[in-house]
């Protein structure tokens, strides 16, 4: 029998919610969010390893570099086991499963209404016990190269990736998550096994379970999972130094697009925010996004009513440990005019500040939306695991939602939008 972990219970009366947390002897951090009476159950394994992690120090202090796209390739191959495709096994158990690789981490998850214990055991088995051969790795190369080429034909994708290249000089976030055809073709089973042993250590991961699930069921699954032993050596990930300023000003690509596309980007510095300050910055970014660029904003109404944009207009703020940025994207036949109006609008808000009534309306609406997230096991699972690996508390995020001040919003607008944006444009091919 394994040593029983100390389970910590945390209650949050504001939301009538609780969470059980403990560290398994392997180092895996486990979160259980009970949702009594919910039919659907959700589990996600999150590893602190994404596409930007292409350099690290090995146990001898040597710098190891892996090909771009290795994290994404590894995600694909972990669903293949000696006895068949793991996705088919989940389907046979009545579960929906999937995975996703991002810049900073990788998720493996499933959702089910039945056979939860078997599904959880299957998740732990296929993620922690890889199976790579020359044959199955070479077969996957062709599939991923085809996927890369498919995305390169998508104008929206090209517009966003070109923006990243303008924003970032050294950070690997400027590169395609899936890598390039050349980098993918250089990946070997040995590389995959090595990356798995380094980054898929339980102490570099988090398991989050949400639903009408008893703690003992999760503990039992972990006992049977044969997880790797806890490592005593820390993982040393290497990222290059990145300047605060944007790397390039403008990029224009011609493609077969129904309408010209644009994406304006502003660079933020993630090193300035940790813990609670990162939580508040993320929330403030959400408010800024809706307040300045949402469908009820003055800017949107002006651009739409005057025919400069259609409904395809949106903004995004991303704050991760390894990068941070704000983008404004859409389609227009008059991109130069849209750029002019957006810049004038931002300068006016910097000078005069946001309108108090509109700020309160957006903040209150966001708080109500956030409370509704507690009815979504899949959303809770993803955000709790992701935040834990960023050394943030997801409950702090929810509790702080209604406490962001107008001053914080105005300060963020001033420090984020004072510089010139990088602009990525996809023009229609003649």
| Terminal CA-CA length for the chain | 69
* Cα(58)–Cα(47) distance, integer angstroms: 18
Compute CA distances 345 → 284, 300, 340, 367, whole Å: 19, 11, 9, 26
Q: Extract the tokens encoding 413.
A: 């607008």
* Cα(150)–Cα(337) distance, integer angstroms: 31
336: region left, alpha or beta (phi > 0 left; psi from -120 to 50 alpha): alpha
Q: Extract the tokens encoding 296.
A: 């009820």
Residues 6+ apart with CB under 8 A from 353: 406, 410
Q: Extract the tokens encoding 131.
A: 């199976």
* Cα(419)–Cα(93) distance, integer angstroms: 53
Q: Extract the tokens encoding 78.
A: 């972990």
Compute CA distances 225 → 221, 336, 392, whole Å: 6, 57, 27
* 3-state percent helix, strand, coil for the chain, nearest multiple of 5: 45, 20, 35
Backbone angles phi, psi at 406, to 5 degrees: -60, -35
What torsion, rounded to 10 degrees, do the Cα atoms 303, 308, 314, 316 define?
-90
- Known active-site residue 75: yes
What torsion, rounded to 10 degrees, do the Cα atoms 74, 79, 84, 89 define?
180
DSSP string, 137-175: HHHHHHHHHHHHHHHHT-HHHHHHHHHHHHH-SS-GGGS
Q: Extract the tokens encoding 334.
A: 């008059």
| The Cα angle at residue 123 between residues 378 and 198, in degrees rounded to 5 | 105
Catalytic residue among 21, 75, 111, 339: 75
* Cα(220)–Cα(229) distance, integer angstroms: 17
Helix pair 70-77, 189-199: axis angle to 10 deg: 90
Residue that is written with structure tokens 């406490």 in the block: 403
Give me the active site residues, please.
75
């Amino acid at each position: 029998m394994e040593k029983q972990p100390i389970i910590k219970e945390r209650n949050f009366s504001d939301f009538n919610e609780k969470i059980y947390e403990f560290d398994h002897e392997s180092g895996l951090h486990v979160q259980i969010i009970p949702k009594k009476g919910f039919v659907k159950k959700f589990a996600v394994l999150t590893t602190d390893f994404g596409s930007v992690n292409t350099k690290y120090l090995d146990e001898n202090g040597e710098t190891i570099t892996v090909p771009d796209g290795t994290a994404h390739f590894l995600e694909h191959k972990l669903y293949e086991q000696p006895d068949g495709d793991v996705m088919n096994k989940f389907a046979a158990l009545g579960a929906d499963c999937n995975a996703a690789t991002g810049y900073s981490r990788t998720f493996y998850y499933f959702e089910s209404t039945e056979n939860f214990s078997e599904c959880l055991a299957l998740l732990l088995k296929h993620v922690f016990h890889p199976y790579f051969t020359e044959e199955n790795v070479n077969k996957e190369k062709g599939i991923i190269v085809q996927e890369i080429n498919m995305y390169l034909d998508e104008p929206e994708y090209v517009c966003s990736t070109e923006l990243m290249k303008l924003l970032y000089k050294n950070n690997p976030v400027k590169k395609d998550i899936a890598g390039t055809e050349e980098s993918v073709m250089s990946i070997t089973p040995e590389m995959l096994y090595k990356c798995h042993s380094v980054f898929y250590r339980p102490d570099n991961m988090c398991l989050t379970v949400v639903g009408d699930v008893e703690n003992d069921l999760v503990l039992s699954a972990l006992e049977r999972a044969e997880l790797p032993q806890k490592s005593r050596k820390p993982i040393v990930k290497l990222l290059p130094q990145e300047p605060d300023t944007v790397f390039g000003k403008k990029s224009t690509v011609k493609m077969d697009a129904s309408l010209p596309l644009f994406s304006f980007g502003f660079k933020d510095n993630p090193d300035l925010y940790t813990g609670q300050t990162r939580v508040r910055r993320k929330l403030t970014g959400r408010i800024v996004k809706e307040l300045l660029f949402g469908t009820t904003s003055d800017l949107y109404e002006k651009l739409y009513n005057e025919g400069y944009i259609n409904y395809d207009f949106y903004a995004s703020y991303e704050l991760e440990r390894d990068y941070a940025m704000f983008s404004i994207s859409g389609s227009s036949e008059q991109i130069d005019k849209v750029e002019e109006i957006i810049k004038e609008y931002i300068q006016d808000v910097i000078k005069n500040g946001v309108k108090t009534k509109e700020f309160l309306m957006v903040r209150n609406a966001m708080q109500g939306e956030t409370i509704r997230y507690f009815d979504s096991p899949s959303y809770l699972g993803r955000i709790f695991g992701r935040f834990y690996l960023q050394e943030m508390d997801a409950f702090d995020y929810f509790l702080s939602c209604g406490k962001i001040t107008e001053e914080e919003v105005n300060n963020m607008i001033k420090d984020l939008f004072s510089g010139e944006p990088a602009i990525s444009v996809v023009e229609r091919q003649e």
